[in-house]
Structure 1
Amino acid sequence: MFTENVSRHGSRSATDGEDADLVLALWQKAEAAGALTAKGKQFGPKARALQEAMSTVGYGDLSGRGKREIQDTAVRMEQRLPGLFKQIAGAKEKIDVVSSGQGRAVDSANLFAAALAATDSALKPLIGSTRTDVDLLYFHKAAGGAAYRDYIANDQRLASTLKSLTGQPATHRAARDVLKKLFKGAFVDQLSDDDRVAAATAVYNLYAIAPAMSDESPGGKGWGMERFISERDAAWFGYLSDVEDFYEKGPGFVGSDITYKMADVLLDDFFKQVEAKRAGTGDLGAELRFTHAEEIIPLAALMGLPGSTKGATAEQPYTYADNAWRGAAVAPLGSNVQWDVFRKGGTYLVRMLYNEKETAFKAGCRPIAKGSTFYKLDELERCFGRTNGAS
């Protein structure tokens, strides 16, 4: 009888050109010094072409792949819930669309809405224009994120933990390995430790963003950036990226909820929409929200979604060996959390999909039957500490 979601925007170009600028400046110095390896000679033109493609798309804007991801997600939502959307069309219920107001989230919202409307022309007049709610969908930069921003800027435990994890000898070894694929050893050796790490990180970041830009590659066949970094080194720099996100957006430190408490506003809205439906005060058939990793990752930690249940201690910092958290699984581009609501007599049942897979709610929430992914609304209210429909 109702569905609601929150989705991260689709695949995009890099948010700025800094990584390409940094590594191409170094590449030009090496070229002038005759210090390029055979692979290094290939790297410069590839990196420059990728940078030009991202500039053409617009830094931070949806790529062709990202647009397709969002459109396909909308079509699959309708295919999973054909009865609901027939009901929405028949009863002329409204479909509300809301975004963070940032360009890639607005574009994702509009593309999703258009693709949904294309599944049934009767839905088109029911879909409202995309509206903006910064407090709800960009909360890390809004008033509700003030304490969080202070933590990022000033928390000494955070700073020292990130420094100790990213500054390991393994990082310096990996940085040398990455750069020696592109530049001759003597050229790499004359760089400072910090410069080597910064340049290798930039190479990794170009490698990591390239799949999102696959539609814009020559012939749509990909950029081939994987030839310039080994799997082992890519895995290490991927881990370092996860370290930062884990401590700055995810479960973070045991005993502290500073990284995810601010997501309360979003979880609260999920409940409010269902409770309004139950109370007969809501006239929506669907509520569709579009946001960013900075909101999805804290929400996953707040809700205890799979992989986001375990914080780190000072004695046992975050590593892949002892923590299941992975940014690529928690909040990939186009990731989403969806609640589908069904009424059975006077009982309201909720099913959750996480990245479009049926997913149990956190431990302590009791489904209607063992192994079921359906939960009574009042049980979820109990489980998440809501009283009389209010948080």
Structure 2
Amino acid sequence: MRTRRAATLLTTALVALALPLSSAQADVDRWYANQTPYGDPASTPIVAPPAGYDLFFVENVGRHGARSLTSSAAEKRALSVWKGASRRGALTTRGKRLDDQIRAFQRAENKLGYGNLSTVGKQEWRGIGRRTATSYSSFFTAAAAKGEKIALTTSPVYRTKQSASSFRLGLRSVVPTAVTSPRTVDRDLLIGEGSTKAGRSAIAKAQRRSSVKAAARTVLRRAYKASYVKRIKDPVGAALDLHLLYSTAPGLAQDTRVTFADVMPASAARRLAEATDARTFYRFGPGVAGQTSSYRRAQPVLDDFFAALDRRIAGGSTAAVFRLAHGEVTMPFAALLKLPGSQQQAGRTFSYASNPWRGSVAGRLGGNIEWAAYRNASGEVLVTMRHNEQPVQFKTSCTPSSANPYFYRLDQLKKCLG
């Protein structure tokens, strides 16, 4: 009975992972790629441990919440294209509004600060904190009563610090007695891209697809006359700039009413999201078949997961560790662990038809990977995992506990993930 129920939960979790946590299919259909907002559901599921095991440690790593653009570069390029069309009298009705939309968007970003969390972004991590505390409320309450602390670690970048603060507020809204240690900075939570020559060639090939070029023309012709679009030196790049504004806008929905949806039909957004995902896939995701450089830089994060758990087992007083980082960490970490959707490398050029990887799952704003460790009276430790707050299994080379397929002995994880 337990096994059948666990299998059902797994199927449900895999379906849930394919969708934004907002539970709105519209977010998928609008093709925001790795700028997809996380959402703020009332609750998320956990899998109960086998009988006799009690929770004694929780840890995670997550991407910061929704933010403004990290720089104005894409906006400046888009405005330059617009000005050229304006000088030549080549603006469509939609195009005549585009510069005002970009400038209104910039005003909201300047108020927030480029690269900083939006109102939605703060709510996302406050919600994660609230749900985490609710899911494990008795554990956090007991830890606080014993004087045990919760560690918050961030990258040096301000938006991760904002996310940590929002998470703390959410946690304390459920467990007011929770005590957090002074926040620390870990530079291993900044990871550079790891594309190879083959990966960069695949990115270029993905962006040269006729479907992507057609989508770019569709988008640009909504703003500019066809004669001007033909003059644009890099139409795909110009369209991807607009797609970046379009995909960033949902995360700023409470800070500006600008959406850029009038220049970005869903069919074109899908193709441009696919091109965006191809670039991210080879830089931070599973990458080229037989190569590991796109994700191996996440190894220090995995090492820290094991080290933090070992310290707790040895009697440490830190009951939980929460790491606030970037998509450049969560995407390679998911590929390193071979989480659902992140386990398939590309033998041919990445496409949605040939590969299940999606930036909206592996790299989404607020996306996170959590381990919860349970222990019995004999000291045996079992670990279970959630991805974006949905229960998932470890990769197939890891053998789960016979008691429940979601739980794994720690020594087994060290062996299969080592």
Report the TM-score when normalising by structure 1: 0.89
Deviations 1:165-198 (A, max 9, x none): 2122223222211111111122222223x2x222
Aligned ranges 1:128-207 → 2 under 5 Å = 128-134=181-187, 136-140=188-192, 152=195, 155-192=196-233, 194=234, 196-207=235-246
Aligned residues: 362
- Residue 302, structure 1, aligned to residue 355, structure 2: no
Counterpart in the other structure of 1:101: 156
1:257 aligns with 2:292: yes
Matched position secondary structure for 1:352: strand
Aligned to 2:59: 4
The equivalent residue for 1:217 is: 256
Instruction: Give the C-alpha shift of residue 109 in structure 1.
Output: 1.2
Question: Which one of the candidate residues 349, 364, 375 is aligned to 2:397?
Answer: 364
Per the alignment, residue 413 of structure 2 pairs with 380
Distance 2:143 2:63 in 1: 24
Q: 8 Å contact 2:133–2:175 — kept in the other structure?
A: no
Alignment-derived partner of residue 20 in structure 2? none
Post-superposition offset of 1:45: 1.6
Is the 2:95–2:223 contact (alpha carbons within 8 Å) kept by the matching residues of 1?
yes
**Structure 2 gaps, min length 5:** 1-55
The CA distance in 2 between the partners of 1:138 and 1:38, in whole Å, is 43
Q: Distance in 2 between matches of 1:166 and 1:29?
A: 24
Aligned-pair distance for 1:3?
Answer: 0.7
Shift of 1:49: 0.8
1:339 corresponds to: 371
Deviation at 1:371, TM superposition (A): 5.8
Q: What pairs with 1:28-47 in structure 2 (closer than 5 Å)?
A: 28-47=83-102
Q: Which amino acid aligns with 1:211?
A: P
Aligned residues: CA RMSD: 1.6
- Indicate the structure with greater helix content: 1
SS in 2 for 1:306: coil
Q: Secondary structure at the match of 2:384?
A: strand
Secondary structure in 2 matching 1:289: strand
Letter in 2 for 1:131: T
Which of 105, 117, 125 is the aligned partner of 2:172?
117
Deviation digits for residues 281-328 of structure 1, max 9, x if unmatched? x22111111100111111101101011111112xx2211111100011
CA distance in 2, matches of 1:165, 1:198: 13
Q: Name the counterpart of 1:145.
A: none
Q: Distance in 2 between matches of 1:8 and 1:384?
A: 22
Q: Which amino acid aligns with 1:188?
A: V
Unaligned runs of 5+ in 1: 141-148, 386-391
TM-score normalized by structure 2?
0.83
Secondary structure at 1:353 match in 2: strand
Asked if 2 retains the 8 angstrom alpha-carbon contact of 1:110 and 1:130, the reply is no
1:276 aligns with 2:308: no
Alignment check: 8 A CA contact 2:155 2:185 kept = yes
Q: Secondary structure at the match of 1:366?
A: coil
CA separation in 2, counterparts of 1:333 and 1:224?
17
**2:220–2:263 Cα contact (<8 Å) kept:** no
Alignment correspondent of 1:321: 353
